[in-house]
Structures are given as structure tokens and as C-alpha cells.
């Protein structure tokens, strides 16, 4: 949408304030697709698979026959919206009803599902089957999405990092160097330099179209947290005193550290990014921010890696090529200081097996195939804008020449994934959702001008303390802790080699 003319930003926010309460919180909009049911004459069994309406689902639906041909196992595939999936899974788990044999699990749900015994650990399956090729998975991905308390609970079917997407023609016109594609090339690619790019691009004109420097995700509670926490992590923000690693006493310390100087600086800069965005971005959910770039009035933004291909569409999964299809490229995120370390937020979806499934062996065969090289490559090769897919968790897929020819950004995306640690930007503790709810509200208040970063973060820390105390996380966490480091995930992977 073009900028609203004739009114100020504050007036625009006042007029649209009522719309914010009606936002949906689905990760992506639910897109109707026919439920797939495939059978073979000599089929041994049919399993039920519940998936979320995410880009991987469209690609998976197109290649299910390949799995059935290979194994003789039929698949009933059903897709649901984010909220509907979570509600249905919880109902099934609590009632101990075998509703599905394979389920998609958000990384933020793994700890809750594991601690409650709702899904089974995959350690024994992975170790028993050499074709799992556990060492082909990128360790940072398994650490961020799939492990909890030293066990493997799920495997990644759609792994996301965050990177920078930019208009090549606008940067060239402005005389701005191309952002780097690897950390080794980063040099002075800092967030301060990123802000200089945004300010230069903001207000440029192409024909009769005015450019915005960037676009942010502003809707609360969940969408804004996804984008903001990447910036905050780059600035050194941590949610807790000691998590996911343990402290010097060998325990998790959940004392909130959200109201830090680093986080105040990050939130002040996020407000500056919003000021260079379309004013309606305060109500933008994930796909709104991602596909706004496709409308050809955004200079540069950072976001989840699925948008490396989704921006080729004019709108979310439309199949209609966007105006900028040949005018964009991608790069790595800036760091706080030149030559500094990056913490990339890794997220995405994984496949798990419910404890109450009657077909766990068949379910494992599907999980192994759909997250394996063969299944993932088949998904990536579906030749349609609506079904493009490059959200890999395996090293071999990033290095595949055939896939690199289709997705030329894969080397840069691999660099992004290798910088990742998803347990720092959004710590996946069992009560994460409650904390995210209050955090997102306070972040949104800063964008709307209702609160300063200092006021919002002070309120957030008070509310965090209340929630954590009510769930016995503070003042002392009495349950077992685990030193949840990347090194321990690598050790787990080594132990699971068949």
C-alpha cells in the first residue's frame, strides 16, 4: 500500500487503532489446499500427518506419492492454521487420543511437549537407522529447533534463519556497496551502517513511487517479537541471567535481564526502523512485512529466510511474479560492532511423533524421509512459484549443484544458518508463550508512541518476574537444569551416529 496522504503518522495510528485488536496470530495466513489422501494396492498402513499451513506444506503435498511408492505407507495429510494446530494437538495430548501419527512442532513448543511426555524422543530411532545421516544436519539447526534436555525430540522440515533482503537497483542508484554474503566479508557491516543505508533509501523516488527505507513487523504479541528479538540479540540482549546454559553453580537462573542497556538501545533503533517504514507496518504480521517488499516500494529489510523466495511472488503464495523478481539479492545480518560476533535467530517447523500414535514405526519412516535429503530435495524441485522451498536443515542440500542453480542464494543462507542459536533470541522454556505475550504488547506500545523504550522494558521486566514467580522459575528454579549449549548438541549428534 502507498503512504496514506493528507494525515500525519499519529493520526493514521489513531484511525487504525481498532484494527489491531482484530489481528490473527497465525504464522502465515491459512491457504486452502486439498487434503491429500493417497493409497496403493499393496499398502501396508496409512498414517495421519498434521501440518501447519506454511510454505513447506505446499511442497510436501506435491511429493507425497514418492514416499508412498518407496515405502508402501499411505499418507493422510491435513493442514491447519497455527492456532488451530496448537489447540488440536493440546486437546489430543491431554485426552491421550491418537489423533495423528506425525505432527508439526514449532520450536517453541518442544520443551512443553517433551516435559509433558506428549511426544517421544527420537534418539533410539535415529541411532538405529544409518540412513538418518544425523551428521548431515547443521548442528546449529538441531540445537535451535530439535533438542531439549540432551535428547532429540523432532527433526526439521522447515528451518529458518534471518538475513537481509535488498533492492540491487536502488543500492546501485544510491551508490551504496552491496551488503556482504559471508561473515568473512562483513568488515564494517554494522547495525549503524545498516541504519545509514535505510536513511539513504528512505524517500528515494522511482518514477512516481516513493520508497520507504525499510519495513518492520509491528503486530503484537507474536509477530513483532520474532523480528525485534533478532535485532536485540545482535545488540547482546539476553532474557535471563543463565539460560540456555547453566551458571557457575550448574543451574538455570531465570532472573529476568530484559531491562538492560543493550535492550534499550536495540528498542530505540527498532523504533527508528519503524519510522522509516510504511505507517501501517505497526499492524503487520509475518507475511505482511515479507511480501510488502514485493510491492517495489521498500529499499531493504531483514527477515526470515523463507522470504528469500517468497518475495518473488506478488503477495503471499500467489504464483504471480512480483515487480522486483530480478531486482533483489540477499546478505548476512549486520553486527553491533565491526568484526563482532553474530547471533542469528533460527526458527521453523519440525516433525515429531505423538506418544499416543498407534503407528510409531511407520511415523518414523515418514519423519526420516520428509526431513531427509531425498524428500527435501523433491520438495525443492517442485517447479512452481506457489511451491518453491529452500528451508533446509541439511548441509548436503545447501551444497547440491542442482539446487544452487535454482536457489543461487543458498551459499549465503548456509552462512546465516551457521551463525545461528535460536535459544538465545527467543528462549524456548515451557512458559515462553506467556512471556512472549507481554513482551510483544510492550514492544508495540513503543512503535505507537505510547511508551518509551525505558518505560516499556521496565514494565516488561516486572511482568516477567510475576509470570516466572507464579510458575516457580524464580527466585530459585527447583527442577533439573541442563547445560544446553551447541557443544552438547554436537556431542549428542555424535552419540546418535548409527
98 inside domain: yes
Domain range spanning residue 149? Answer: 36-159+347-413
94 inside domain: yes
What pLDDT score does 321 carry? 87
199 inside domain: no
Residue 6 has pLDDT above 70, yes or no: no
The residue-averaged pLDDT of 411-435 equals 97
What pLDDT score does 23 carry? 27
What pLDDT score does 43 carry? 52
170 inside domain: no
The residue-averaged pLDDT of 395-413 equals 97
User: Which pLDDT band holds residue 318 (cuts at 50, 70, 90)?
Assistant: confident
What pLDDT score does 61 carry? 95
% of the chain residues with pLDDT over 70: 91
Of residues 351, 346, 368, 350, the one with CA closest to residue 413: 346
Of the CA atoms within 13 Å of residue 288, those in its CB half-sphere come to 21
48 inside domain: yes
The residue-averaged pLDDT of 429-457 equals 98
What pLDDT score does 490 carry? 98
What pLDDT score does 10 carry? 39
| CA–CA distances in Å: residue 468 to residues 153, 239, 254, 329 | 25, 12, 8, 42
195 inside domain: no
Helix axes 432-448, 453-470, angle to 10 degrees: 160
User: Which pLDDT band holds residue 11 (cuts at 50, 70, 90)?
Assistant: very low
Residue 222 has pLDDT above 50, yes or no: yes
Of residues 394, 363, 364, 365, the one with CA closest to residue 379: 394
Residue 15 or 492, more confident: 492
What pLDDT score does 498 carry? 74
75 inside domain: yes
Total domain count, the chain: 1
Distance separating alpha carbons of residues 324 and 286, to the nearest angstrom: 19
Please, which residues bridge with residue 348 across strands? 159
What pLDDT score does 249 carry? 96
Range name among 121-135, 218-232, 315-329, 392-406 with the lowest pLDDT average: 315-329
CATH number at residue 104: 3.40.190.10
Structure letter (DSSP) for residue 413: H
pLDDT in tens, 31-58: 333 333 333 334 569 999 999 989 999 9
CA–CA–CA angle 419, 382, 129 (5° rounding): 60
The residue-averaged pLDDT of 289-311 equals 95
Cis peptide before 475 (omega within 30 of 0): yes
Cis peptide before 221 (omega within 30 of 0): yes
Distance separating alpha carbons of residues 346 and 72, to the nearest angstrom: 34
Please, which residues bridge with residue 106 across strands? 349
Residue 131 has pLDDT above 90, yes or no: yes
104 inside domain: yes
What pLDDT score does 384 carry? 82
Per-chain mean pLDDT for the chain: 91
| CA–CA distances in Å: residue 195 to residues 31, 221, 445, 461, 476 | 35, 25, 22, 28, 41
User: Which pLDDT band holds residue 272 (cuts at 50, 70, 90)?
Assistant: very high
Distance separating alpha carbons of residues 283 and 23, to the nearest angstrom: 8
pLDDT in tens, 149-201: 999 999 999 999 999 999 999 999 999 999 999 999 988 999 999 999 999 99
What pLDDT score does 317 carry? 80
Amino acid at each position: 500500500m502507498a503512504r496514506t496522504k493528507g494525515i500525519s503518522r499519529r493520526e493514521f495510528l489513531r484511525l487504525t487503532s481498532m484494527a489491531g485488536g482484530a489481528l490473527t496470530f497465525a504464522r502465515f495466513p491459512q491457504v486452502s489446499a486439498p487434503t491429500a489422501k493417497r493409497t496403493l494396492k499393496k499398502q501396508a498402513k496409512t498414517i495421519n500427518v498434521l501440518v501447519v499451513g506454511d510454505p513447506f506444506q505446499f511442497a510436501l503435498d506435491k511429493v507425497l506419492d514418492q514416499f508412498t511408492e518407496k515405502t508402501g505407507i499411505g499418507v493422510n495429510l491435513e493442514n491447519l492454521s497455527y492456532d488451530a494446530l496448537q489447540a488440536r494437538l493440546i486437546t489430543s495430548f491431554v485426552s491421550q487420543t491418537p489423533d495423528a501419527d506425525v505432527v508439526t512442532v514449532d520450536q517453541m513448543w518442544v520443551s512443553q511437549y517433551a516435559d509433558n511426555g506428549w511426544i517421544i524422543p527420537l534418539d533410539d530411532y535415529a541411532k538405529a537407522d544409518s540412513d538418518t545421516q544425523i551428521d548431515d544436519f547443521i548442528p546449529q539447526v538441531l540445537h535451535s529447533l530439535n533438542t531439549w534436555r540432551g535428547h532429540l525430540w523432532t527433526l526439521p522440515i522447515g528451518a529458518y534463519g534471518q538475513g537481509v533482503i535488498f533492492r540491487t537497483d536502488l543500492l546501485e542508484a544510491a551508490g551504496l556497496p552491496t551488503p556482504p554474503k559471508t561473515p568473512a566479508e562483513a568488515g564494517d557491516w554494522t547495525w549503524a551502517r545498516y541504519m545509514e543505508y535505510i536513511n539513504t533509501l528512505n524517500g528515494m523516488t522511482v518514477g512516481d513511487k516513493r520508497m520507504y527505507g525499510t519495513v518492520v513487523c509491528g503486530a503484537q504479541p507474536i509477530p513483532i517479537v520474532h523480528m525485534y528479538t533478532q535485532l536485540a540479540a545482535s545488540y547482546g540482549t539476553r532474557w535471563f541471567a543463565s539460560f540456555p546454559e547453566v551458571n557457575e553453580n550448574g543451574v538455570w537462573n531465570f532472573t529476568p535481564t530484559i531491562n538492560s542497556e543493550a535492550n534499550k538501545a536495540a528498542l530505540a533503533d527498532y523504533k527508528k526502523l519503524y519510522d522509516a517504514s510504511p505507517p501501517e507496518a505497526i499492524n503487520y504480521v509475518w507475511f505482511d512485512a515479507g511480501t510488502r517488499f514485493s510491492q517495489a516500494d521498500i529499499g531493504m529489510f531483514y527477515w526470515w529466510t523463507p522470504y528469500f523466495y517468497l518475495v518473488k511472488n506478488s503477495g503471499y503464495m500467489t504464483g504471480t511474479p512480483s515487480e522486483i523478481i530480478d531486482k533483489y539479492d540477499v546478505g548476512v545480518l549486520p553486527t553491533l560492532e565491526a568484526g563482532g560476533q553474530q547471533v542469528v535467530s533460527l526458527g521453523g517447523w519440525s516433525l515429531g511423533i505423538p506418544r499416543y500414535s498407534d503407528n510409531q514405526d511407520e511415523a518414523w519412516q515418514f519423519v526420516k524421509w520428509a526431513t531427509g535429503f531425498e524428500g527435501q530435495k523433491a520438495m525443492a524441485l517442485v517447479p512452481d512459484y506457489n511451491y518453491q522451498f529452500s528451508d533446509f536443515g541439511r548441509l548436503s542440500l545447501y551444497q547440491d549443484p542442482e539446487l544452487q542453480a535454482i536457489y543461487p542464494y543458498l551459499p549465503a543462507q548456509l552462512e546465516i544458518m551457521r551463525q545461528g542459536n535460536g535459544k538465545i533470541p527467543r528462549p524456548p522454556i515451557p512458559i515462553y508463550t506467556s512471556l512472549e505475550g507481554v513482551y510483544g504488547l510492550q514492544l508495540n506500545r513503543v512503535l505507537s508512541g505510547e511508551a518509551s523504550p525505558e518505560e516499556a522494558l521496565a514494565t516488561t521486566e516486572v511482568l516477567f518476574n510475576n509470570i516466572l514467580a507464579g510458575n516457580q522459575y524464580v527466585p530459585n528454579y527447583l527442577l533439573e537444569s541442563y547445560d544446553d549449549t551447541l557443544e552438547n548438541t554436537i556431542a549428542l549428534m555424535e552419540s546418535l551416529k548409527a
